[in-house]
Chain A
């Protein structure tokens, strides 16, 4: 049964140096507050896993938490590149970042295999691309009935998966709705899991399109209102598009990034969610004029 704890306690309990850690959430419900808590607790040598590493992974990579990234698309959606990610790949700053690169279909199936207790998944993917030449975790497999050659990818079984959801009840049952991406698979594939939620409620009312994770399939739940900001939580708050725009100039510059980290992540150690301001931007002192970033 899931235990309901604070975010700092949950991260301290579940995330250890050297772990394989997946934060999932496909545009919607990205567990940003949890990622920043991992930065604040100064975890190191993590293998970060995520289909779509975006701002929160840019922050974690820039803060030096990661030694490896397993992913399929890394960018600042609607804006451009992840500059901390690029700086790590191209200049090993602040530490080198090893890449294990897949397609979305491959990553999704790796989580499916992980959730299913299988060592691998099969797909009709990667054919003719240059990915298999650079990614050891893509191998051919032959159908024993038709002889057709397909592709196998190994299961992903993170040490910890972290996702964000709209609600949990007091027993720790979790409910999310809207675009729910690969979150169920990522949680079920993991050895341990943390779900941050907008609110803990007395009872989960059934809702159209809701995915429910029973409490016995989750390790910890932490109530973190606006824990997905600057991404969105359907029926709670909208995506903060200005934040994504404003991130670009901060992340382009090592000093600006380091300042941001000190002011908006580390300085907030005493308060629960310092980097998650209600306003529109990564920090009050940040210009949010998107036009200045081009």
Chain B
């Protein structure tokens, strides 16, 4: 603030060239990245070190800019207007003698922080420029052109244990016993088949005849087949007895079972 002894003269002190500069800025309003960017640009017109900048002067420059924009009916984004309101508040704080009853930071503190923000933004811009001016990979220095990728060698190692070996062998050797269950039709003579067969034959049985006579051809030799056929035929006979078509008898336990037609 030391460079603006007459604070009240601020606006009037604005030179013609400064006002022209402000108008030029308005034309370029879209080119600014927000109010802080605009403030930074405005501060350059003061042609002093940012450390020594007059924040009051800057606030006035900014407010003049917003005023001009209004005259030119340029729509300013809300954050420019918020900043204008805040700067107007800051300006009043800087100009009026401090009110001891009022809480909050003093105008000088607020101004100092704004100066810090501007300085920091400028510092970051300079840093960004320095960064981009460095040698960059792919432009100034280069990485390996033929990188050799790590070759992935996948080795497969198989394992098996003794139990698995045993189980595999048992499985092979007991395949017949453990195969999925299916009815083995080949060795089964069903009661239905026996009934069909007996219905055809029984008409000729006027006399007592052994049950074994009724066994189908080819079912007597193999004991397993004979058992199946005998059981089926016996069951069929009982069905026919029940139906009243056949009489059945057995002289004693394990004696041959005999059948004969029952005449109605």
Query: Does B associate with A?
Result: no
Where the two chains meet, the residues of B that have a C-beta atom closer than 8 Å to any C-beta of A are none
Where the two chains meet, the residues of A that have a C-beta atom closer than 8 Å to any C-beta of B are none
